[in-house]
Each structure stands twice: as C-alpha cells, then as structure tokens.
Amino acid sequence: MTDNVESLLLEHLKQFQGGLARIERKQDEAVTRLGRLEVAMAGLRRDVAHAEEGAAEGGVRVDRLAERIERIERRLDLGDAPRPSAR
C-alpha cells in the first residue's frame, strides 16, 4: 500500500512540475512581450517628441515671416500694419 501511495504522490508531483513549467514558460513569454511593448512605447514617445519639435520650429518660422511682412508693410505704408505715430 505504501508503494501505491508513493507512486500516486510521485505522479501528482510530476503533474504539478509540468503545470509549473507551463506557467513559467507563459510568464517568460509575457515578460518578453511586455519588454517589446516598452520598446515600442519608447519609440512612439521619441516620434511624438520629434513631431512636436518640428511643429515648434514651424511656428518660429511663421512668427519670423509675420514680423518681416509687418516691417515691409510699415516701410511701404501698406495694409493694416500699425503705423508709427508722428509727433
């Protein structure tokens, strides 16, 4: 009878080990996938930062062009540019 109990316990332990091994493989897979997601997120953040940088540079260019146009309009007395008051 002791042999049967030992055999049954050994069989259950092997099943537990097999189940644990499957869980560990799944966990390793999840960790790997999470790492890939983190890398992808970092890439997206980098892309967004570059896009924002480009938008800011474009805004600066537009501001400079607007200033140049205002100067030209003032010199030529054109448009709605504010005119310096003559005192």
57-66 mean pLDDT: 97
Residue 77 has pLDDT above 80, yes or no: yes
Identify the pLDDT of residue 86. 53
Instruction: Please indicate, yes or no, whether the overall pTM of this predicted structure exceeds 0.85.
Output: no
Residues 4-61: tens digit of each pLDDT = 989 999 999 999 999 999 999 999 999 999 999 999 999 999 999 999 999 999 999 9
Query: Residue 5 region, left (φ>0) first, then alpha (ψ -120 to 50), else beta?
Result: alpha
Is the pLDDT higher at 84 or at 5?
A: 5
